[in-house]
Amino acid sequence: MSGLPRSSHALVTGGGRGIGRAIAAALTGAGATVTVLGRNAATLEEAVSAGAAHFAAVADVSDEVALRAAITKAAERQPIDILIANAGSAESAPFAKSDAALFARMMDVNFMGVVHAVRAVLPGMKDRPYGRVVAIASTAGLKGYAYVSAYTAAKHAVVGLVRSLALEMASTNITVNAVCPGFTDTDLVADSIETIVKKTGRSREQAITDLARHNPQGRLVTPQEVADAVLWLCGDGAGAITGQAIAVAGGEI
């Protein structure tokens, strides 16, 4: 695997835990300066203290003004070469009970959060000799799942954005891709497991098995496996890879 250009600065949204933290740690280990951004200052600072990142920035990705201010401050420290738009949330409900507010919440965080972050970094990134944008979407951006129509719609929107933006950036130094994990062993999936347990009366083990059955390998993906895919896309050797939505899902897609 080709490494990262020297002195790269990576910004990882939702970087305090789960997939985001694993990505931040992988980029740090590869030699990048890493800023993790999220809503929980304590979680972010813990990631910095543990060596997974160098700096923390607090903002809600659905708040364009606050996000832009946080990214501007991070870029003043060092121009941003890599954006990992990872922040997201998931809510489940039958479509009949998925009201406009639910759809708005899912779009605001999972889609517009990506839009806001990209808009904030792109002007400066165009002036750099190297640029990488990686959105963490989901297999829900490549197929349908029952009872998460709003989340699935938002992730499909992310994949569409990536494909279109990649074409606009093709004549520049910037590549734009999506990584689409299947069910991954994170706090977010743990919350889904607890919801299944409460709503169905199944045991936690049964709930995990129910989610893992989507993966032909019969297991949950690990955050490190997602991070490894992201690290490859950010490296020198992936310069011809753009506009892709890469599934990390054990053959589900």
What is the reported pLDDT for 2? 59
130 domain residue, yes or no: yes
94 domain residue, yes or no: yes
Q: Model confidence over 105-134: pLDDT tens digits?
A: 999 999 999 999 999 999 999 999 999 999
Q: Are 204 and 240 in contact (CB under 8 A)?
A: no
| Domain residue limits at 138 | 9-182+221-248
Q: Are 188 and 225 in contact (CB under 8 A)?
A: no
What is the reported pLDDT for 208? 77
253 domain residue, yes or no: no
CATH number of the domain bearing residue 102: 3.40.50.720
If one counts the domains in the chain, the total is 1
Q: Are 84 and 18 in contact (CB under 8 A)?
A: no
153 domain residue, yes or no: yes
196 domain residue, yes or no: no
13: left (phi over 0), alpha (psi -120 to 50) or beta: beta
175 domain residue, yes or no: yes
The per-residue DSSP string of 13-75 comes to: ETTTSHHHHHHHHHHHHTT-EEEEEES-HHHHHHHHHTTS-SEEEE--TT-HHHHHHHHHHHH
* Rounded Cα–Cα distance for residues 125 and 133 (Å): 10
What does the block give as tokens for 239?
């310069």
Q: Are 122 and 50 in contact (CB under 8 A)?
A: no
- What 157-163 contacts at long range (C-beta under 8 Å, 24+ apart), as own/partner pairs, is 157/107, 157/110, 157/111, 158/110, 158/111, 158/114, 159/245, 161/111, 161/114, 161/115, 161/118, 161/135, 162/133, 162/135, 162/137, 162/243, 162/244, 162/245, 163/243, 163/245
Please identify which residue in the block is written with the tokens 């280990």: 29
What is the reported pLDDT for 186? 83
Residues annotated as catalytic are 151
191 domain residue, yes or no: no
- Which residue ranges of the chain lie beneath pLDDT 70? 1-2, 188-193, 196-197
92 domain residue, yes or no: yes
Please name the residue ranges forming H helices in 78-222: 100-106, 113-126, 149-169, 187-200, 204-212
What is the reported pLDDT for 202? 76
User: What's the CA angle centered on 219, arms 177 and 20, to 5 degrees?
Assistant: 40
Distance between terminal CA atoms of the chain?
24
What does the block give as tokens for 150?
């709003």
